[in-house]
Amino acid sequence: MTPPVLETDRLILRPHRVQDFADVAALWANPDTVRFIQPEAVTPEGAWAKLMFHHGHWQAMGFGVWVITERGSGRYLGETGFFVTPRQCDPLLGDAVEASWVLAPEAQGQGIAAEAVLRTHAWADTAGLWPETVCLLDPENTASQKLAAKTGYEFRQKVQYRGGMSLVMARKTGQPGTAA
């Protein structure tokens, strides 16, 4: 499957390319980027695995994660989209489709995440591939909690994940979000 390219006024959301490796590696190696996502920054080897995961996910599942780029300059700003993974949390999420977003620190605080996440969810609502999505959030990540709520997510439950507590928020497909 060829992933669609999505556009907004300021952004182009496109599939990952092998040429994105340096940007993916830099994003995930930054401790400020990963502090609410995982305990440690990602090595170049781990970044390569993420890049290949994104390629394969689109092929295997028909949906996945996009690169967020700045319209005009093409500057890499982060990633957003949907995926399924066998998370080892308690309770288990099963085969839930997860929404995700991660922005480089220099792209944060400008409404870019909201613009990108609302656009990918509009695509998902139209595609109608699943009845709902969930997102797994660190309780201290208030910015992502606000973005999730803005996108139509509501608190569902707390889970134990990687030795700590995480929040699960859920959104029914077609649940309206608010404008970016």
What is the model's pTM?
0.92
SS3 88: coil
pLDDT in tens, 120-132: 999 999 999 999 9
* Predicted pLDDT of residue 132: 95
Q: Tell me the domains of the chain and their CATH numbers.
A: 6-129 (3.40.630.30)
Tell me how crowded residue 103 is: count the other CB atoms within 10 A of its CB. 20
Q: Which two tokens stand for residue 79?
A: 């990633």
For the beta sheet containing 98-103, the strands, ordered from the edge strand earlier in sequence to the opposite edge, are 6-7, 11-14, 65-70, 76-83, 98-103, 132-137, 164-172, 154-161
* Predicted pLDDT of residue 179: 47
pLDDT in tens, 144-180: 999 999 999 999 999 989 888 999 999 999 877 654 4
Within 8 A by CB and 6+ apart from 106, the residues are none
**What length does the chain have?**
180
E strand intervals along the chain: 6-7, 11-14, 65-70, 76-83, 98-103, 132-137, 154-161, 164-172
* Predicted pLDDT of residue 94: 86
pLDDT in tens, 65-121: 999 999 999 999 999 999 999 888 888 888 899 999 999 999 999 999 999 999 999
Strands 65-70, 11-14: pairing kind: antiparallel
* Predicted pLDDT of residue 33: 80
* Predicted pLDDT of residue 178: 59
Residue 3, burial from CB neighbour count under 10 angstroms (0-12, 13-18, 19+):
buried
